[in-house]
DNA sequence: CGCGATTAAATCGCATGCGATCTTATAATC
DNA sequence: GATTATAAGATCGCATGCGATTTAATCGCG
């Protein structure tokens, strides 16, 4: 427990650049800006596209299960899914076994738009300026951090 | 254990876990959840607190300069700053030299609440589960990534 | 079987974010 | 100096996010 080895312990952050959360926050905003043109072309928002990806990964999910994967709850997802339904990209129907649940599925059009979106992503991977190994390492470190935070929040 | 570099090009992401942006996005949500109890106690939101930190770092900034630091524009900042003004934490006044600009300053109360917030941050640093070196490395990697993305978005 | 507890989704209110537009003040051009 | 162009904030509309509440369906336990 060496307390004052030279700058071992991260202290209470004093400036913006000391906040890890601000680094995450601002990087998220930056991603949003890079992605915007691509998704605009598709008539989708970032989150709408992410939802389509999650459904592609596993179709016919309940709102709750989708929320677990996206770290969102029904108050965010329900309006979003209704918009996607309005665009014809997903269907929403009550589960006949448990009527409390709503099952969400991709339509053909939804699959197509998801595929079209995925094709446009390579330039964005380029835009990160990261070498493949660094890309994956950062991804891994972030998910580890996320899981620690989620755990701490419980 | 690593394959050689040739086969390491990241392809178009197919699942959520392939998206670096989703790792950033969900980590940002997770931070928000961990921070929420602290800021709630102060009657602030995450962004409001960040704005106070930025003003503490440099006081008497224009809306535009604050926006550059926070990666936000006036359409987001103006309502936020008005709320902070309503709470008595900042003052907003037109620059007498250039009346287009609005200068924002911390009040005494604003300084106090910012200090109180900073004191409560240590448990959150703990919650990251990161060793000091990893903490700083991740911070550095993220800001580098953010800057690459911002550059690419221009 | 009955009925309160729990659960899933939906709804509501508020605070971000951002594109588009508007207003006003300054700069630039003549 | 008048006119136009540009710049800084403010405003508006829409889409997230989230806490709190509501509604409806199912579960639990006597």
Torsion angle of C-alpha atoms A69, A71, A76, A79, degrees rounded to 10 = -10
Q: Is the pLDDT of residue A6 over 60?
A: no
Q: Which of A106, A112, A127, A110 is nearest to A37 (CA)?
A: A127
**Which DSSP state fits B10?**
-
Q: How far is the CA of B99 from the C1' of C26 (A)?
A: 9
Q: Show residues of chain A in contact with B139, CB under 8 Å.
A: 17, 20, 23
Structure tokens at B100: 């287009």
Q: What is the pLDDT of residue A8?
A: 47
The answer to whether residue A45 scores a pLDDT higher than 80 is yes
For residues B16-36, average pLDDT: 94
Per-residue model confidence as pLDDT tens digits over A47-76:
999 999 999 999 999 999 999 999 999 999
**Of residues B42, B120, B38, B123, the one with CA closest to residue A152:** B123
pLDDT for res B1: 47
State the Cα torsion A41-A43-A45-A46 to the nearest 10°: -40
**Whole-angstrom distance, CA of residue B122 vs CA of residue A10:** 9
User: Residue B2: which pLDDT band, with cuts at 50, 70 and 90?
Assistant: very low
pLDDT digits (tens, 9 = 90+) for A89-134: 999 999 999 999 999 999 999 999 999 999 888 888 888 889 899 9
Instruction: Select from A15, A27, A141, A14 the least CA-distant residue to B138.
Output: A141
| pLDDT, position B122 | 83
Whether A28 sits inside 8 A of B23 (CB atoms) is no
- Render pLDDT for B133-142 as a digit per residue (tens, 0 to 9): 999 999 999 9
Distances (CA, A) of A36 to A47, A142, A147, B75: 11, 22, 27, 18
Residues of B in contact with A54 (CB under 8 A): 16
């Amino acid at each position: 427990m060496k307390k004052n080895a030279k700058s071992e312990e991260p202290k209470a952050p004093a400036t913006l650049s000391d906040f890890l959360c601000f680094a995450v926050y601002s990087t998220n905003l930056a991603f949003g800006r890079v992605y915007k043109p691509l998704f605009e072309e598709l008539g989708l928002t970032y989150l709408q596209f992410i939802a389509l990806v999650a459904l592609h990964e596993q179709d016919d999910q309940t709102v709750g299960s989708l929320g677990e994967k996206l770290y969102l709850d029904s108050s965010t997802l329900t309006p979003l899914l209704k918009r996607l339904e309005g665009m014809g990209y997903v269907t929403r129907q009550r589960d006949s076994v448990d009527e409390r649940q709503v099952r969400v599925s991709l339509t053909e059009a939804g699959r197509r738009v998801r595929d079209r979106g995925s094709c446009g992503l390579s330039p964005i991977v380029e835009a990160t300026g990261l070498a493949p190994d660094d890309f994956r390492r950062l991804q891994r470190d972030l998910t580890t951090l996320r899981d620690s935070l989620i755990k701490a929040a419980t």
